[in-house]
Amino acid sequence: MNYYSTQRQTPAVDLKEAVLKGLPSDNGLFMPEKIEPLPADFFDTIIDKSFHEIAFALADRLTGRTLPPSKLEHIIEQTLMFEAPLVELEENMNILELFHGPTLAFKDFGARFMAQLMSYFVEGKSKKLQILVATSGDTGGAVAHGFLDVPNIQVTVLYPKGKVSFLQEKQFTTLGKNITALEIDGTFDDCQALVKKAFLDAELTEKLFLTSANSINISRLIPQTFYYVNAYKQLKDKSKDTVFVVPSGNFGNITAGVLAKKMGLPVKFIAATNRNKIVPDYLATGQYQPLPSVQTISNAMDVGNPSNFARLYEIYDKDVDKMRADIKGFFYDDEQTKSAITEVRKRYNYTIDPHGAVGYLAFKDYIKNCTKPINGIILETAHPAKFLNTVEEVIGEKIKIPTALQQYAEREKLSIPMSIDFEPFKAFLIEQYA
Ligand SMILES: *Cc1c(COP(=O)(O)O)cnc(C)c1O
């Protein structure tokens, strides 16, 4: 099976090229040419299937059955080293906890799978694969952990000095091994500019096998389908309609859910956003109008031009009515989000993070128009401790920092300071890796 570009200005490529390249050169996004549904009886016997078995069935189809089964099994094993449990807040309202990975957010699923797949594709090559990634905080951690100890790959993370939180910084500057962190005396945009320049530099691209760990890499969406189907499995009463509530920024997570639906998962979706409400507006008006992003307390969703919208648009044949039939949009401001954190804490004795809180609000509004009870599954995309200051201030209590996060605080920072000039950066890469 091949992967085509949503812009259709470049030829379709195989999985290896789609994964190693990340982005087609026409600036579209890679999409599988065919989405093969699961067998009709798959959902009848789902209760007997393990998370790994479900993942294998989905990944095998989304990779066009091009990987040897034993390899794919290994990749899934290395990806799913943690659970995605469904927690019931009350009847018909569940939280899908996606924060049990090493960096406490759902992005761990995508980053780990992508790392394993890339490693497989570069096996036996003479040059190691060099991943360059600029981060404003969270991506660096998820990518660094995803690639940690993965053979045939080196990762260089560029981050702006003094502009990421203490714990975020510690998550990707203390790992050593195949992960190097460069502390750039500039802004996130400066970091990104350095990475972009490296990809355009003829000498570097000749001497090094460079790629990016782009957030829109198709391989990151594949493992995100796993937990939708596995969450459905965990529902007690499958005779009711089911809706997934997805706190959304770049709309990759919800796109993965929609792919699972295309493969047979009988559910619908709610796209919940903060004031960056481009997609809820599109669903309301039929006009897609990107805007500069505005800052909120659910900052992983502060996106003014969601990159995966192009994929959703493809899946729904560029037809807003088709998208509306599957996805409802809701949006909330920071004050509403804070009240929701308080309400969930008081009512359910559950600490929800600001992104999940936006999802909770959307679900409550959605069911106002439902005539019968439905299963609601709210994706809790990150652990509340990742947004410690906001959450502690709102609930007026200290929250426990999971050991997975706390352990980094005490470790030694190993980053290398660097200016925003390209030449020393280039010289460093050549000296280290060529
Ligand atoms: C990345 C992220 C989101 C947004 O996910 P998209 O796939 O970009 O829509 C939501 N919540 C958290 C905590 C995130 O890190």
Return the pLDDT at 168. 86
Counting ligand 1 atoms within 8 A of each CB, the residue from 253, 255, 276, 332 with the most, and so the one to mutate, is 253
> What is the 3 state secondary structure string of 360-429?
HHHHHHHHCCCCCCCEEEEEECECHHHHHHHHHHHHCCCCCCCHHHHHHHCCCCCCEEECCCHHHHHHHH
Ligand 1 centroid distance, CA of 270 (Å): 14
Ligand 1 centroid distance, CA of 300 (Å): 5
Average model confidence (pLDDT) across the chain: 95
**Both tokens assigned to 20:** 């190693």
Ligand 1 centroid distance, CA of 248 (Å): 6
> In this prediction, what percent of the chain has a pLDDT beyond 70?
100
Ligand 1 centroid distance, CA of 138 (Å): 10
Tell whether the model's pLDDT for residue 68 goes beyond 80. yes
Sheet harboring 86-90: ordered strands across? Answer: 86-90, 93-97, 375-380, 242-247, 268-273, 327-331
Return the pLDDT at 119. 95
Return the pLDDT at 434. 87
Return the pLDDT at 138. 79
Mutual angle of helices 354-367 and 334-348, in 10-degree steps: 80
User: What size, in residues, is the chain?
Assistant: 434
Counting ligand 1 atoms within 8 A of each CB, the residue from 355, 378, 379, 387 with the most, and so the one to mutate, is 355
Tell whether the model's pLDDT for residue 32 goes beyond 90. yes
285 within 8 A of 254, measured Cβ to Cβ: no
Which ligand 1 atom is the nearest neighbour of the CA of 303?
8
Return the pLDDT at 264. 97
> In this prediction, what percent of the chain has a pLDDT beyond 90?
88
In degrees, to the nearest 5, what angle opens at C-alpha 287 toward C-alphas 358 and 255?
50
Counting ligand 1 atoms within 8 A of each CB, the residue from 104, 107, 135, 171 with the most, and so the one to mutate, is 107
Return the beta strands (E) in 33-177 as ranges. Answer: 86-90, 93-97, 129-134, 153-160
Which ligand 1 atom is the nearest neighbour of the CA of 255?
7
User: Ligand 1 pocket: which residues have CB below 6 Å?
Assistant: 105, 107, 138, 247-253, 300-301, 355, 381-382
- Per CATH, is 83-102+219-401 categorized as 3.40.50.1100? yes
Counting ligand 1 atoms within 8 A of each CB, the residue from 106, 308, 387 with the most, and so the one to mutate, is 106
The residue written with tokens 């997805």 in the block is 246
Which ligand 1 atom is the nearest neighbour of the CA of 246?
9
Lowest mean pLDDT among 43-52, 206-215, 409-418: 206-215
pLDDT tens digits along 84-98: 999 999 999 999 999
The residues near 134 (Cβ < 8 Å, ≥ 6 apart) are: 157, 158, 159, 188, 191, 192, 194, 195
Which ligand 1 atom is the nearest neighbour of the CA of 256?
7
Indicate the pTM of the whole model: 0.94
Which ligand 1 atom is the nearest neighbour of the CA of 215?
8
How far apart CA 35 and CA 316 sit, in angstroms, is 13
Return the pLDDT at 283. 98
* pLDDT band at 66; cut points 50, 70, 90: very high
Which ligand 1 atom is the nearest neighbour of the CA of 253?
7
Look at residues 161, 154, 195, 173 and name the one whose alpha carbon lies nearest to residue 432: 154
pLDDT tens digits along 350-387: 999 999 999 999 999 999 999 999 999 999 999 999 99
Delimit the domains of the chain by residue range: 83-102+219-401
Q: What is the mean pLDDT of residues 297-313?
A: 93
How far apart CA 402 and CA 400 sit, in angstroms, is 6
Tell whether the model's pLDDT for residue 163 goes beyond 90. no
* Distance of alpha carbon 377 from the chain centroid: 18
**Both tokens assigned to 240:** 């009711």
Lowest mean pLDDT among 88-92, 167-171, 226-230: 167-171
pLDDT tens digits along 180-219: 999 999 988 899 899 989 988 999 999 999 998 877 999 9
pLDDT tens digits along 307-319: 999 999 999 999 9
Q: Ligand 1 atom 14: the closest Cα is on which residue?
A: 300
Q: Ligand 1 atom 15: the closest Cα is on which residue?
A: 300
- What are 240's strand-pairing partners? none
* pLDDT band at 405; cut points 50, 70, 90: confident
Cβ-based burial of 356 (10 A; exposed 0-12, middle 13-18, buried ≥19): buried
